[in-house]
Amino acid sequence: MYNQTEIIKDTTDLGPEGELVINMGPQHPATHGVLHLVVTLNGETIKKIEPHLGYIHRSIEKMCESLTYRQFIYVTSRMDYLSSHINNLGCALLIEKGMQIEVPERAKYIRVILSELTRIASHELWLGAMAMDLGAFTPFFYTFREREMITEIMEETCGARLTMNYIVPGGVMYDIHPNFQKKVKAFIKQFKEKVTEFEDLVTNNVIFQSRTKGIGILSAEDAISFGCTGPVARASGVRCDIRKLYPYDVYDKVEFDEVIETAGDSFARYIVRVKEMNQSIRIIEQLIDSIPEGDFVGKTKNVLKLPKGEFYTRVETARGEFGVFIVSEGGTNPYRIKFRSPGFSNLSALNHMAAGSKIGDLMATMGTLDLVIPDIDR
């Protein structure tokens, strides 16, 4: 039993047969943020991993209790900053559901296109960073080349590159930039040409395959029991894509496949994300030419008041199921708000997945979980 803040020392006097306790993080390049793992080793084999959280805890749930329904949406951009657009969408959908606000078709199309662009950008960053964790430096530059195109589209239309804050209850904040469709098409063209480069560089790479295949296996039953969602659960064969199960906005009108792999190892998680990028491109292609004319935001009151009761919505972020649970007393701010973040549940499976493997394989397991620390700490 360790205290959270205590730096753990190896006090065993057993020599080479004893346990070794290593503090990985909070300043470790492979944790991509301030995650602190206390790893208990027996030789090179991992016996136990204890995550220590809270280095970037801002108590967003408490903060949101004193913000109005128009304001609190923007705080959620600071949780999972790589899917900030989708987080905003989840909150907006909840308010629209609670107040029965009509959203114009044009806004729905724009939201879905931007959500899918966000998903591609997030997976691109993950791909580069994960390959770098495993020692391959080049993919990082290749993925950031495409990701830069998306951030430029975001900057032009939303005014920001990372924390977009573009979605408001009832639609979107502004209309899209006149160049939007042209630039998105240019991006799709480039992405389709270059996606084979990732396959040559990473997917078919023998070193990469031998470092990820059969590493960090998670079975389907465990994935459900640990509450894993998103690519992590889909790589274990669990159907959990919210876009398919509970479609929101225009996801019920577009055709796309839910990517399912059954191996449950790190390589399967990698494959799921790469295939998901192609599915996102497919969704954007179906929508980009048919954005309907009309309003980009529906009519809403200036002061939003959610009726008394409890509301829950879920959306599919790049990491999995993001849920918003609001308890309303009928006032202008939420009485209690809970964010069910996908990273928090996915992290809880780490000990189960990595126990028994070598410490070098922990990088592959943790890399393919795709953890974003502010999303876990909230």
Residue 249 — φ and ψ, nearest 5°? Answer: 45, -125
Shorter beta-carbon distance to another protein: residue 20 or 327? 327
If one asks whether residue 302 binds another protein (CB under 8 A), the answer comes out as no
Q: Which two tokens stand for residue 128?
A: 């580069």
Q: Report yes or no: 320 and 240 within 8 Å, Cβ to Cβ.
A: yes
Q: What x-and-dash track marks residues 312-331 binding another protein by CB under 8 A?
A: x-x------x-x-x-x----
Q: Report yes or no: 346 and 229 within 8 Å, Cβ to Cβ.
A: yes
Distance from C-alpha of 372 to C-alpha of 228, rounded to nearest angstrom:
15
Q: Report yes or no: 134 and 363 within 8 Å, Cβ to Cβ.
A: yes
Contacts of 31 (CB under 8 A, 6+ apart): 24, 25, 37, 366, 371, 373
Residues 126-155 that bind another protein (CB under 8 A): none
Shorter beta-carbon distance to another protein: residue 35 or 272? 35
- Minimum Å distance from CB 167 to another protein? 21
Piece of the chain touching another protein by CB under 8 A; list 33-41, 267-275, 287-295, 336-344: 336-344
If one asks whether residue 377 binds another protein (CB under 8 A), the answer comes out as yes
333 C-beta neighbours (distance < 10 Å), count: 19
- Minimum Å distance from CB 232 to another protein? 13
If one asks whether residue 227 binds another protein (CB under 8 A), the answer comes out as yes
Query: Computed over its alpha carbons, how large is the radius of gyration of the chain?
Result: 21
Shorter beta-carbon distance to another protein: residue 174 or 335? 335
- Minimum Å distance from CB 238 to another protein? 7
If one asks whether residue 99 binds another protein (CB under 8 A), the answer comes out as no
Distance from C-alpha of 126 to C-alpha of 253, rounded to nearest angstrom:
28
If one asks whether residue 338 binds another protein (CB under 8 A), the answer comes out as yes
38 DSSP β-pair partners: 23, 50
Piece of the chain touching another protein by CB under 8 A; list 35-43, 191-199, 225-233, 260-268: 225-233
Residues 34-73 that bind another protein (CB under 8 A): 52-54, 57, 59, 61-63, 66-67
Shorter beta-carbon distance to another protein: residue 159 or 309? 309
Which of 277, 347, 371, 372 is in the footprint of another protein by CB under 8 A? Answer: 347
To the nearest 10°, report the CA torsion of 147, 153, 154, 159: 140
Which amino acid, residue 356? G
- Minimum Å distance from CB 168 to another protein? 19
DSSP secondary structure, 180-237, as one string: HHHHHHHHHHHHHHHHHHHIIIIIT-HHHHHHHTTSS---HHHHHHTT--THHHHTTT
If one asks whether residue 340 binds another protein (CB under 8 A), the answer comes out as yes
Piece of the chain touching another protein by CB under 8 A; list 82-90, 232-240, 254-262, 363-371: 232-240
Q: Rule CB under 8 A: which residues touch another protein? A: 1, 3-5, 52-54, 57, 59, 61-63, 66-67, 222, 224-227, 229, 238-240, 245, 309-312, 314, 321, 323, 325, 327, 335-336, 338, 340, 344-345, 347-348, 352, 377
